[in-house]
């Protein structure tokens, strides 16, 4: 018996990545694909490499209801209004609509008020931290790619209660696919090639998401200074995080190894080994490394992941596996594409 899966927004980067993963999943049948831009076309007309003749359909509520689980990869505010009244279909949203506990944060940073948001029971889909809640969820808000990298990098410290700091600095770098498909000259080849540039170093939309979840983990208000940069590569994220601590690097490393010892997708590297984005390319794996500047008592935590996999579609399928009691690693045991 296979579950019926639908994808709304199937022709964006995250939608295509979902199809790549689900094509290897033994327990699903993709029965519905929707694309506003290419309605009526076959998928292989738009992307011949897909080798799939499924018709890209318009959005119809009855067809959404016929899915056991629906993945939505849509602009902010669109997914919520589309799926909030579905009766039986489980929803995993790869946008921001279901990520926040506090609706005022969404309204402030995305400029939209979602009607009935307080009454909609939703679960934040960072699998390693919310597995039990995800298992019984109807609506899952898949985390952003940067928040996934930051929160997994800091969760062991937060859970331990051993860090007294209230301010954390994050230097983050992402491949261009993290911005989605855009017809914008600032994302053209000539603008990006042989170039490295910061963007939204103040008031980035991911900051309130990171701070809200860190407050839940740390049990206190945490201020995050977040500086993202665009790197001329297709995919991958590397975060370097700085915070003060009096703990030794050996104590912290032991804490991380114990915290993630049973996690298949999260790898704590030996002290002195630092992650690269190539190790994650095309996979759902996350690599975390730790070092300490003893002179300034500064802990440096580094995390690397593929923004389209663990940062989006891979984590979404991981959440689906948890929701339907499949083995969590099903269809996600990809090894990195290297070099």
Domains identified in the chain and CATH numbers: 3-142+312-324 (3.40.50.720), 145-305 (3.30.360.10)
Give the pLDDT confidence score for residue 183 in this predicted structure: 73
Q: What is the pLDDT of residues 267-280, one digit of tens each?
A: 999 999 999 999 99
Give the pLDDT confidence score for residue 161 in this predicted structure: 78
Backbone angles phi, psi at 36, to 5 degrees: -65, -40
Asked whether the predicted pLDDT for residue 182 surpasses 80, the reply is no
Give the pLDDT confidence score for residue 160 in this predicted structure: 85
Average pLDDT over residues 312-336: 98
Give the pLDDT confidence score for residue 275 in this predicted structure: 98
Asked whether the predicted pLDDT for residue 45 surpasses 90, the reply is yes
Percent above pLDDT 90 for the chain: 86
Q: Which of 67, 145, 239, 280 is catalytic?
A: 145
Average pLDDT over residues 21-37: 96
| Sequence-ordered strand ranges (E) for the chain | 3-8, 28-34, 69-72, 90-93, 122-124, 139-141, 167-174, 197-198, 223-230, 237-244, 266-268, 286-293, 298-305
Q: CA of 264: how far to CAs of 127, 285, 287, 319, 333, in Å? A: 11, 8, 11, 14, 10
DSSP string covering 166-179: SEEEEEEEE-GGGG
Which residue has 């979840």 as its token pair? Answer: 213
Identify the three-state secondary structure at position 94. Answer: coil
Asked whether the predicted pLDDT for residue 199 surpasses 80, the reply is yes
Give the pLDDT confidence score for residue 300 in this predicted structure: 97
pLDDT bin (cut points 50, 70, 90) of residue 51 is confident
Average pLDDT score over the chain: 95
Q: Is the pTM of this model over 0.95?
A: yes
Q: What is the pLDDT of residues 224-283, one digit of tens each?
A: 999 999 999 999 999 999 999 889 999 999 999 999 999 999 999 999 999 999 999 999
Largest CA distance in the chain: 62
Torsion of CA 42, 187, 77, 103, to 10 degrees: 140
Give the pLDDT confidence score for residue 185 in this predicted structure: 83
pLDDT bin (cut points 50, 70, 90) of residue 219 is confident
pLDDT bin (cut points 50, 70, 90) of residue 118 is confident
145 is catalytic: yes
Cis before residue 339, ω within 30 degrees of 0? yes
Give the pLDDT confidence score for residue 208 in this predicted structure: 96
Give the pLDDT confidence score for residue 119 in this predicted structure: 84
Cα separation, 94 vs 98, in Å, equals 9
- CA-derived radius of gyration, the chain: 20
pLDDT bin (cut points 50, 70, 90) of residue 184 is confident
Packed helices 314-323 and 127-135: angle between N→C axes, nearest 10 degrees: 40
Bridge partner list, 69: 5, 90
Asked whether the predicted pLDDT for residue 166 surpasses 80, the reply is yes
Question: Which of 299, 302, 303 lies closest to 311, judged by CA?
Answer: 303
Bridge partner list, 242: 169, 300
* Sheet of 3-8, strands arranged across: 28-34, 3-8, 69-72, 90-93, 139-141, 122-124
Give the pLDDT confidence score for residue 179 in this predicted structure: 81
């Amino acid at each position: 018996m296979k579950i019926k899966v639908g994808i709304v927004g199937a022709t964006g980067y995250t939608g295509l990545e979902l199809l790549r993963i689900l094509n290897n999943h033994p327990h699903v049948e993709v029965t519905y694909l929707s694309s506003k831009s290419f309605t009526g076309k076959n998928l292989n007309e738009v992307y011949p490499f897909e080798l799939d003749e499924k018709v890209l359909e318009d959005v119809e509520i009855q067809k959404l209801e016929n899915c056991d689980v629906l993945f939505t990869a849509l602009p902010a505010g669109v997914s919520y209004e589309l799926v909030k009244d579905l009766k039986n279909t489980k929803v995993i949203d790869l946008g921001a609509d279901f990520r926040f506990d506090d609706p005022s944060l969404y309204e402030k940073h995305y400029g939209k008020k979602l009607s009935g948001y307080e009454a909609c029971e939703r679960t934040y889909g960072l699998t390693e931290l919310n597995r039990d809640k995800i298992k019984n969820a109807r609506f899952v808000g898949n985390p952003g790619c940067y928040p996934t990298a930051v929160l997994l990098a800091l969760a062991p410290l937060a859970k331990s209660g051993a860090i007294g700091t209230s301010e954390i600095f994050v230097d983050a770098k992402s491949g261009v696919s993290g911005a989605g498909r855009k017809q914008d000259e600032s994302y053209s080849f000539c603008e990006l090639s042989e170039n490295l540039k910061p963007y939204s170093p103040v008031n980035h939309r991911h900051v309130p998401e990171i701070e809200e979840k860190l407050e839940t983990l740390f049990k206190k208000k945490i201020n995050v200074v977040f500086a993202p940069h665009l790197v001329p590569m297709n995919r991958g994220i590397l975060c370097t995080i700085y915070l003060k601590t009096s703990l030794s690097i050996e104590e912290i490393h032991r804490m991380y190894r114990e915290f993630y010892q049973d996690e298949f997708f999260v790898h704590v590297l030996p002290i002195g080994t630092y992650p690269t984005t190539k190790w994650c390319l095309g996979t759902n794996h996350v690599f975390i490394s730790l070092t300490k500047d003893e002179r300034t008592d500064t802990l440096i935590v580094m995390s690397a992941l593929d923004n389209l996999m663990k940062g989006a579609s891979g984590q979404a399928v991981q959440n689906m596996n948890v929701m339907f009691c499949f083995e969590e690693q099903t269809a996600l045991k990809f090894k990195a594409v290297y070099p």
